[in-house]
Each structure stands twice: as C-alpha cells, then as structure tokens.
Amino acid sequence: MKLQRHPANPILLPDPASDWETYNVFNPAVSYHNGLFHMHYRAQGLDWISRIGYAVSEDGIRWNRLRRPVLEPANESEARGVEDPRVTELEGGFYMAYTAYASSPIGSFNITPMFARSRNLISWERIGPLVRGEDNKDHALFPRRIHGRYVSLHRRPPRVWLAESDDLVAWSEALMRPVFGPREDNRWDCKRVGGNGVPIETPHGWLVFYHAYDQQHVYRLGVCLLDLDDPGRVLHRPLEPIFEPEELWELRGDVPNVVFSCANIVVNGRVYVYYGAADHVIGLATCDFDELLEYARFG
C-alpha cells in the first residue's frame, strides 16, 4: 500500500516577494470545512523565525493565501517560532496544536507543545501548554472526547504517548502513557516515531498516521490502528511505510530526505495527505480511504 503523489506537486512554494515566507513553506495542517480546504502552514522568512500562514482552496490543489500570518510569536517562549500546526474541529470550534520554540530553555528544553482555539480559522486565542520543560511535540487532539475527556497524542522521545484532560488546560501526568515506539532490526521506524495529523475515527478503530526515521535519518510515513474506546491500545501496525522521499524536492532542501505530514483528511472517500518536503515546499499525496483502512487492519 502506497500513497500516490499528485501530478501538480509541489502544491505550495515559498514566496520570494514576502518577508515572512521567503525561504520555506512546509508541515501544514489542513481542514475540510463548509466545502473548502483550509490550510495552516509553517513558513520561514528573512529572519528564519517560523510563523503560521493561512490559505484556502476549493479543490485542495490551488490555493489563495492571506498576505500576513495568522499566528506568530507573541512572547519569549515562542521567540524563535511557532511550528508544525495540527488543527482539529471539535465541539463547534477549531483547536490548533502547535510547537512553541523559545530562544532559551524553559526547564531543560526550548520547545513547548501548545494549544490555541478559533471560531473562524483566522483569529487564534492561546489556551496553554500540554507540558513544559521537556522534549515534547508532535501533538494532535482527537476529534471528540473519549469517556468524557479530551485526548491528545504527543511525543516523548522516542515514543508516541497519549494525554488526557478535562478542560484542555490541565493535562494530568498520571493519565499520560506510551502508545507505541520504534521497532528494532534496522527497520524504517527503528530510531524515533511521532504522530502526524488528527486521528481519523473509523468503525474499526482510530486510524493514525505517523512519521519515523531510521539510522540514516530518512523520514517516512506509516499508519496504525488504535482501539476506539482505549486509544492507548494498538490494534494493528503494518510493518511497511506507506510513503517515503523519492522526488528531488523531497530528497534535497533545507533538511534533506524528509516527508513530514501534519494533515490527513478524508474527502469524498479519498484520503488527502499534505506534507512538508525537505522542510522547503508542500506536497500532496492521496489514496482510497477503504484501501488504506484495509491495509491498516491487515497489512
């Protein structure tokens, strides 16, 4: 089972006339709402600080961008950038999980997994962190509560973890637990794994996309299936990746040999996976949803 690249790739490029997205656009979140595709993408410009831009599309391929970012650093904990958004539609609003990158360590590390909310996908209000003072990112909210609690994937190296909260503000350490980690034997996911976009609810479990890298630091994408009532339990995890860098613009860029996704949405029975290629441009790969779910169950 492999994703197929769209022939229009790459679908979003840096804007050389811009001050804030001059060099790189990558790692986008994409939502499908009211018949439109809404993209929130990470961008780097003349100061190399990451900001989050917004673009909208009728077909998911051709995009109209806002001229200014919709989220940019607001305090010292974000001084070096806001990165890698994942956007979940939940309970009548939109919630963005993003990584804040500080100029100096908060505790032992410079990064903080943050949440923000919006009613219109343009104006964002910060909620707060999932944790502070540790190497933690790649977080994404599930699209509904489970047993009354909000649930989020996150990454404590080298594993994917689960977190739970009653209010999206306090995330209890007692409720955090590992879900899955790297596999040995020099496989494609033998060094580190992290979650990609928002988990997809299916009758057979939560379909989760994840990224991983190996000894050669090549980033690839895979899928697994988590239990609907207990997403800390892995039902099945296929051995092979579904996507890997092959095109020149995926192999060479600001960070080479990388395909990295924060978006995996289902529209009219087709899965749209938007990804950053070599931390420089944005690509799109697709597949049939039923075929992918079959692979996640039995592959």
Q: How far apart are CA 217 and CA 133, in angstroms?
A: 25
Helix (H, G, I), strand (E, B) or coil at 88: strand
Average pLDDT rounded to a whole number, residues 282-296: 98
Q: How far apart are CA 289 and CA 205, in angstroms?
A: 14
Whether the predicted pLDDT of 200 surpasses 90 = yes
**pLDDT tens, residue by residue, 63-91:** 999 999 999 999 999 999 999 999 999 99
Two tokens, residue 282 = 């944005």
Q: Are 45 and 22 in contact (CB under 8 A)?
A: yes
Domain definitions of the chain by residue range: 4-298
Neighbours of 89 (CB within 10 A): 16
**pLDDT tens, residue by residue, 228-284:** 999 999 999 999 999 999 999 999 999 999 999 999 999 999 999 999 999 999 999
Q: How far apart are CA 260 and CA 28, in angstroms?
A: 9
By residue count, the chain amounts to: 299
pLDDT (0 to 100) of residue 186: 82
Predicted structure pTM score = 0.98
CATH assignment of 4-298, among 2.115.10.20, 2.130.10.10, 3.60.130.10, 3.30.450.20: 2.115.10.20
